[in-house]
Chain A
Amino acid sequence: MHPVVKLVTQRLALGLLLMLAVSALIFFGVEALPGDTAQAMLGQSATPEALANLREKMGLNEPVLWRYGHWLYGFLTGDMGVALTNGEDIAKSVGGRLGNTLFLAFWAALISVPLAILLGLLAARYNGRWPDRLISGVTLATISLPEFVAGYLVLYFLAVKLQLFPAMSMVFPGMGVFERLSAIILPVIVLVMVVLAHMMRMTRAAILNVMQSAYIETAELKGLSPLTVIWRHAFPNAIAPVVNVVMLNLAYLVVGVVVVEVVFVYPGMGQYLVDHVTKRDLPVVQACGMIFAAVYIGLNILADVVSILANPRLRHPK
């Protein structure tokens, strides 16, 4: 077997194993909390009889391992049960929210990742000179601003004062793609501001690191222009660390943007999860936990695979 295929398969298998471990952690963690789902549903008005009936109905009297298997199977087949608080089908409501979150993350990533890498290359090219200082200064300033401050600033100037963009990023089913895009402009701006610096600095650092190597000197002596040297020779060797940071930021765009969602009234996963945690709606919390874990693990596997593929020593074994 080709060593790359073997390595990638190993990574995938490890990821699946990790997912299984996380699912067990989520399920048994919730299980270990005092009280059970039936008690949470009935609340203060729980009589022993009603509790027994509901436990019977929900299958809570079955052995715990059986229930874990059942829950996991349901999750894999898209049946996540119903929310305790309003009786809605979890898969359906999570589906809509997840779609919104991914939509926002996709556009933020589409703008921020190429921009960050481009700026990183430029900063490396003009290392120590004013373009480098300008790029670093501006991006470090935007990352240092807490998200909600950035959100309010953008909101105040672009939505309230200049009235260029809508203040609320409300999206709903049946909305056209262009309408959606114009609705999410402000949160995309804020998210780009937040994730840009990390990726840019990493690109710059990785490239500068490679620039010390002998083969870069050779390339320079060959008479290649500085940008060609960076793009053709330095960047391919700097991909692995950059990809890792990019993936971390992508994961953040999916699982960590609850503050931005709140400021711009965007119906994503974060607010949904927070609402259900406050109400102790455990089935929903479990489902969201699994989805977030899957996104995180998935993106990290992707980062691993890309760095493996980007390494010529692994692609062309002797």
Chain B
Amino acid sequence: MSEQLNYLLARAAKGLMSRREFVGRAGALGVSAALASTLLASAARAEEPKKGGLLRSGMAGGESTNSLDPALAASEVPFAVNMMWGEMLVDVNAKGEIDYRIAEEISSSPDATEWKFKIRKGVEYHDGSTVTADDVVATLKRHTDEKSQSGALGIVKDIIDMKAEGDMVTLKLASGNADLPFLMGDYHLIIQPGGGIENPTAGIGAGPYKIVANEPGIRHTFEKHANYFDSTMGHADQTEIIVINDNTARTSALQAGQIHMMNRVDPKIVGLLKGAPGISIQAVAGRGHYVFIMHCDKAPFDNNDLRMALKLSVNRQEMVDKILGGLGSRGNDFPINAAYPLFDDTIPQREYDAAAAAEAYKKSGHDGSPIVLQVAAGAFPGAIEAAQLFQQSANAAGIPLEVKREPDDGYWSNVWNVAPFCASYWGGRPVQDQMYSTAYLSTADWNDTKFKDPKFDETLIAARAELDPVKRKAEYSELANNLRDNGGLICPMFNDFVEAKRDEVGGWQPDPNGELMNGRALAKCWLNT
């Protein structure tokens, strides 16, 4: 038995077998699931990284318009490129904990309004200079400036004072925030020499790889940063990110061995790819979710009974099965799932209930005119099909839902955040507070459901400064229930990150924070030859 178990372990550790498959097969040998998981974790650790070689990824989500300025990163390829050359103060790891990077120690005042970050000594940039506390302050300052157009502006704007003393950075916040260290792991907040104020697109950072060639929309190549401070990362000598936006081309390149890993496997072909030799599918439950959003301040969606009727008329399981090919989980009309710390799993799952939906619709007193849902194919993969499923299940409950197709071009500027009822996508955030603060606080820039509830805001801000996890969890549960029952968000499903890698790639660990091991796959994996 132990021989068989060892064989299974070796295969699972190399990524030839999924964790679930391993636990299942080990179970057949009489090993409990808990023990199997422990065995697997130690086997994965025991595998020695191999140094050298050229590791390549093929990615969707890159354009020839991409910039190296980390403040502007918005799509998948710039994100992955920045994670190659850049380092933040901290990383959020796969378990949802803080990994110290540029910062090596963090402490806060009891009310979480003043934070001290101790900067690691002797961390070197690619140009040979050393990372200083002044660089950290300058970087954060640049992101607080509206002119930088930083995607992290919402995160840093609560910092009212920042100063550097020796190797210590002190940040003062307008109000307490127990999650600040997690926010500093945001991928925009890469520490740059002089804060990147002089030359934001220089691409000089303290990350594991230096940029060799930067051809936006085509490819990005890197070589190992010889003086990188962390020996557990950066195994390959060279890495390359190739932009392959076409699904078929990307999959073919992986099958032909021209790339070692890829993001965004089309759920429709997962079943076919599973049989392909030399390739394994990696599905990771993430925090991204596909949504239909209603503006709570516009008729007819200003009526909570109507909103509830629509929420009740979504067949979530059908959507997970048909749109995600089973690679995902049902949503519950609030943007949080079990991938977040302090998630309350006792909140009941909302089910499709045509009778209850019809009743709520009747109660809303809606005049029976068509309720128009605006959708573009690019809102999320399978958006049109999902909207059509929604239309059918809603019509079955007597709700006159109609789908209106919009062009992809201009969808995010002309329809999203403008039309009262449309499809959208959220990528998720590392912590609950950030997700709620980004999109559900009354004053949030991206409050795309126009949900404005003083009670909600109050609880959210109180939870933010709460350092006691038990109380905090209760407060988050209250927020979730409030949004679930009163909000403008219809969240039918959370999608998995579905990725694929070749068997020769070692060191792969699932990471719910982002695609391709939160952008670090090329730095953390190695090539077994």
Residues on A close to B: CB < 8 A? 43, 45, 50, 83, 85-88, 93, 152, 155-156, 159-160, 163, 166-168, 170, 172, 262-265, 267, 271-272, 275-276, 278-279, 281
Contacts and interface: CB of A to CB of B under 8 A. Distances in A.
Interface string B308-328: 000000000000000000000
Contacts of B252: 155-156, 159-160, 167
Contacts of B218: 170, 172, 267
B219 A167 contact: no
A85 B72 CA distance: 10
Contacts of A263: 246, 248-249
Given A167-B249, A275-B63, 9 more contacts: A86-B66, A155-B249, A160-B256, A168-B242, A262-B249, A264-B249, A267-B217, A271-B64, A276-B64
A264 B219 CA distance: 14
Interface of B: 58, 63-67, 146-147, 149, 201, 213, 215-219, 242-246, 248-249, 252-253, 255-259, 409
> 7 shortest A-B CB distances, which residue pairs?
A85-B65, A86-B67, A167-B256, A267-B218, A275-B63, A275-B64, A167-B252
A281 to B, nearest CB: 6
Contacts of A163: 256-257
Q: Name, among A88, A170, A276, the residue most crowded by chain B CB atoms within 10 Å (CB to CB).
A: A170
B195 to A, nearest CB: 18
A168 B244 contact: yes
A168 B242 CA distance: 10
Contacts of A172: 213, 215, 218-219
Contacts, number: 81
B201 to A, nearest CB: 7
Nearest to A279: B65
A156 B217 CA distance: 24
A220 to B, nearest CB: 52
Contacts of B147: 50
B65 A45 contact: no
A168 B65 CA distance: 21
Contacts of A86: 65-67, 201, 216
A93 B64 CA distance: 9
Nearest to B255: A160
Nearest to B243: A265
B252 to A, nearest CB: 5
Nearest to B221: A172
Contacts of B64: 93, 271-272, 275-276
A43 B149 contact: yes
Q: Name, among A50, A93, A167, the residue most crowded by chain B CB atoms within 10 Å (CB to CB).
A: A167
A276 B92 CA distance: 34
B362 to A, nearest CB: 40
B249 A272 contact: no
Contacts of B242: 168, 170, 265
B67 to A, nearest CB: 4
Contacts of A272: 64, 217
A263 B215 CA distance: 18
Given A155-B248, A265-B243, A168 B253 contact: yes
Contacts of A167: 249, 252-253, 255-256, 258
B232 to A, nearest CB: 31
Contact of B215 (A87, A159, A267): A267
A276 B64 CA distance: 7
B149 A159 contact: no
20 contacts: A83-B65, A86-B65, A86-B66, A87-B201, A152-B248, A160-B252, A166-B256, A166-B258, A167-B255, A167-B256, A167-B258, A168-B58, A168-B259, A170-B219, A263-B248, A265-B249, A271-B64, A278-B409, A279-B63, A281-B65
A45 B145 CA distance: 12
A263 B500 CA distance: 19
Contacts of A85: 65, 67
Contacts of B257: 163
Nearest to A86: B67
B5 to A, nearest CB: 35
Contacts of A160: 252, 255-256
B422 to A, nearest CB: 18
A45 B246 contact: no
Contact of A275 (B149, B217, B258, B409): B217
A166 B245 CA distance: 17
A275 B249 contact: no
B55 to A, nearest CB: 16
Given A160-B256, A172-B218, A276 B246 contact: no
Contacts of B409: 278
A278 B63 contact: yes
B279 to A, nearest CB: 11
A299 to B, nearest CB: 25
Contacts of A156: 252
Contacts of A170: 218-219, 242
Given A163-B256, A281-B65, A262 B219 contact: no
